[in-house]
Amino acid sequence: MRTYNILIIILLLAISPYGYSAETQEITVYRSPNCGCCSGWIKHLQEHQFSVIDIKTNNVDKLKQKHGITDKLASCHTAIVDGYVIEGHVPASDIKRLLSEKLDVVGLTVPAMPVGTPGMEMGNRKAPFSVLTFDKNGKTTVFKHYDNY
Ligand SMILES: [Cu+2]
């Protein structure tokens, strides 16, 4: 009887959304060890079904150069997901949209660190910002604009 109960519990875990990891998307985040807002962004991703590999390094700039992230496009952390580069405090929903639309771009960026973006919360302070796509020549387009995230 006891074994039977345990089997039921295992079965319930297997079919529940919490027992499942198949729906999480893996993303690798490169950031400097003492970057607080980067941790905030990582937490935001984890709250939106991303499984984060958190790489602490003092060499994020080298990675940015390698992926054509100019100073104008740069922010704090740089992440790689499914072959795309995600720079800065990009909302999880925009990453998911990029992955489903499979656009022919290098990735997405929110340049600098606008107040009110995920990981950059400061009470009620919100700055308007745009999520940009960028290609390997540094050409950008507006992917999504937020007046108030
Ligand atoms: Cu930041």
131 assigned to some structural domain = yes
Q: What is the pLDDT of residue 138?
A: 87
Taking 50 as the pLDDT cut, the residues of the chain under it are: 19-21
Q: Which two tokens stand for residue 122?
A: 């400061």
16 assigned to some structural domain = no
Q: What is the CATH number of the domain that holds 82?
A: 3.40.30.10
Q: What is the pLDDT of residue 8?
A: 54
Domain count of the chain? Answer: 1
10 assigned to some structural domain = no
Q: What is the pLDDT of residue 126?
A: 95
1 assigned to some structural domain = no
Q: What is the pLDDT of residue 96?
A: 98
Identify each DSSP E strand in 45-103 by its residue range.
Answer: 50-56, 78-81, 84-88
7 assigned to some structural domain = no
For residue 54, give its domain range. Answer: 22-146
Gap between the Cα atoms of 55 and 67, Å rounded: 17
H or E segment to which residue 26 belongs = strand 25-31
37 assigned to some structural domain = yes
Distance between Cα 88 and ligand 1 center (Å): 6
Dihedral of alpha carbons 85, 90, 95, 101, sign = negative
140 assigned to some structural domain = yes
Nearest to 131 by CA among 123, 101, 122: 101
Distance between Cα 14 and ligand 1 center (Å): 37
HSE, CB side, 13 Å, CA atoms: give it for residue 98.
Answer: 27
Q: What is the pLDDT of residue 29?
A: 98
Gap between the Cα atoms of 21 and 29, Å rounded: 19
Q: What is the pLDDT of residue 23?
A: 81
69 assigned to some structural domain = yes
Distance between Cα 34 and ligand 1 center (Å): 11
